Amino acid sequence: MDFSSNQINLINQPSSHKSKYFQIDYEKELNEEQRKVVFAGEGPLLVIAGAGSGKTRTITYRVAHLIEQGVNPENILLATFTNKAAREMLHRVECLLGLSLNRIWGGTFHHIGNLILRREAKKVGFDFNYTILDREDQKDLIEACILQSGVDIKARRFPKADVVMQVINLCRNTLVSIEDIIDKNYPQFREWSGNISHIFALYQNRKRELNCMDFDDLLSYVWELFQKDEATRRKYAQIFHHVLVDEYQDTNLIQAEIVDFFASEHRNVLAVRDDSQSIYSFRGANFANIMDFPKKYPDCVLYKLETNYRSVPPILALANQVISKNTRQYKKTLQAVRKSGEKPIVVPAKNTAQQSEFVATQILTIRDNGYSLRDVAVLYRAHYQSMELQMELTRRGIPFEVRSGLRFFEQAHIKDIIAYLKVIANPRDEIAWKRILKIYPGIGKATSEKIWEFFRESIDPLGLIQKREIPENISRGARDGLLTLEELLAQLEEVDFQPGTMIQKIIQGNYNEYLTTHYPDYRERLQDIEELANFASQYKSLDGFLSELALLGEMEAENIIDGGLPDEKVTLSSVHQAKGLEWPAVFIIWLCEGGFPSGRSIEKDEDIEEERRLFYVACTRAKDYLFLCYPIVAEGNRAQTSFIRKPSRFLKEINSNCYTKWFLNRSGNEW
């Protein structure tokens, strides 16, 4: 579907804007596409800004031009998704014009919502001095509401506060009921839907009693206020003569409607974004917002920024071809300013181990060719896909930072699994015992201390628990938890200390249930653990596996590769976390079916299109070099099997003349 044809009128602005009329030399500092946006007239404007096309620069100069034209700064609203982005844009405008812009309404939607509510709090039932709950405060209050609700918190499958908070937040941001959120995202909690709805009501009431709001309130109360109070809506709509929204494709339903409220009087709304980079539906972002913009504003004018200043032509040619397969989009073709460059390289590897070895070796080659390690990024669809690479980089002394979260083996759920294995390997490991004990219902910090004090008197704590000799001064719930643990430990001892099989047993025990009740992202964490099991299956003994992990921890603290700088690190990141960034050299790994695209996103066409947009985002992070890697053989833990992986459908969609294919035949240290 191409919205650039008959639905939307494209206009042709004069290409020449003489600098003598303005303080800023727009002719010199902007290309023709950018100037058309900057000098556009009034009315709704939709700007489709391709990757690396200078959208931030365009917005900045648009604001500067409006002020040069006599628009009062206090009549301009600039909405962004980070306060940092707003500050940088406004600072650039100040530098361009040589004046202070303190009166511009600039910042995140939440920041702008807070500014309004500080003036209008009484109208939504709060005092002006309300406090704002951070995430930890929000969690604490929800925990208090769970207790107040009278629900049996010891019930094995009732979700913890983190999960309840995620359900509530999704409900608020998507305008979907608690019941529907649970049906779609957390079906294992359907029996608790009524209880969670009640907790939500208690939570809302408690916030009013305490005169506090959470971050979602800063939007939802503004939305409710503008819906119910026409006079207040008109007051702000009259203030904002021009509304500029960056990253419009990332807005949720509430944010998009608030923008419409702001623009309802003057209708000078500028929505800037690239529909091809809409990748946050899991956060509540609504892709339809940007696709339906022309329906809401039939007289809008569409502009496209298609000149790319980032990537070499072969990378853009591949990216253009990738995204062309999506049906729901604004058609565009990125054109490179740079004149030449290397084709992307597709690299099939025998397995994930060879994939990691290749990436590590190639990183060093790139460094030897004059680049810094800071110039290199490795991107992946899911965090677990970086596990083997993290280990390989650590072995080689190649420093790295993980943008997508903690290092793989530092994550809580991975440390939990390793703690079970440590107890089997060394029954006197106090730290490991205390960690796994607290996983079980009825056992907190104090009770785990009591249990350990009982165990430490024995030379064989495992023998004690197997004989069901347990402390008498603990609760019935704690005793039941210990008996459940005993059953699992007995099973772990029966599998000949094979670490991969042991991890599968832990998952099949109560840990899967523990994940679902404690973590909103339990699916991703379970996937991490399953991949850990597959990796561990390569080791013939439990001691060998644990020793390898311990040695890696030691290596992590050692010096970096010869000649490296202390702050020189390769970036490892999920694609989601890499959006908006760029590097000279980018590796995308695990480009196989079930890896990228994700196995959970291949049933619906809309999900596949978002996965393709995600791949497009990953490709367009690269400036000079792009490596597309995938493992051919996957190791499966069950029955020590292996199976062939299919290359990602996104690779199959690319014409072979768009890339170079490398085949890995390792001889010594050469590929």
> How confident is residue 665, by pLDDT bands cut at 50, 70 and 90?
confident
> How confident is residue 593, by pLDDT bands cut at 50, 70 and 90?
very high
Q: Of the ranges 246-260, 299-313, 478-492, which one carries the lowest mean pLDDT score?
A: 478-492
> According to the model, what pLDDT value does residue 13 have?
37
pLDDT above 70: residue 21:
no
> According to the model, what pLDDT value does residue 555 have?
58
- Tens digits of per-residue pLDDT, 103-154? 889 889 999 999 999 999 999 999 999 999 998 999 999 999 999 999 887 6
> How confident is residue 467, by pLDDT bands cut at 50, 70 and 90?
confident
Q: Taking all residues of the chain, what is their mean pLDDT, rounded to a whole number? A: 88
- Write out the DSSP string of 390-453: HHHHHHHT--EEETTSS-GGGSHHHHHHHHHHHHHH-TT-HHHHHHHHTTSTT--HHHHHHHHH
Q: How far apart are CA 218 and CA 518, in angstroms?
A: 27
Residues designated catalytic: 55-56, 246-247, 277, 621
> According to the model, what pLDDT value does residue 565 have?
57
> How confident is residue 463, by pLDDT bands cut at 50, 70 and 90?
confident
> According to the model, what pLDDT value does residue 11 have?
30
pLDDT above 50: residue 19:
no
pLDDT above 70: residue 194:
yes
Instruction: Give phi and psi for 522, each to the nearest 5.
Output: -60, -30
> According to the model, what pLDDT value does residue 551 have?
73
- Tens digits of per-residue pLDDT, 60-111? 999 999 999 999 999 999 999 888 888 888 889 888 888 777 788 988 999 9
Element (H, E) at 572: strand 570-574
pLDDT above 80: residue 5:
no
State the residue for tokens 């209008």. Answer: 120
| Higher local confidence (pLDDT), 22 or 335 | 335
pLDDT above 50: residue 321:
yes
What pTM, to 2 d.p., does this model score?
0.85
Q: How far apart are CA 102 and CA 82, in angstroms?
A: 17
Q: Of the ranges 15-19, 95-99, 404-408, which one carries the lowest mean pLDDT score?
A: 15-19
> According to the model, what pLDDT value does residue 408 have?
87
Bridge-based pairing state of the strands 583-588 and 622-631: parallel
> How confident is residue 554, by pLDDT bands cut at 50, 70 and 90?
low
Quick one: 403 exposed, middle or buried, by C-beta within 10 A (0-12, 13-18, 19+)? middle
State the residue for tokens 């049933």. Answer: 603
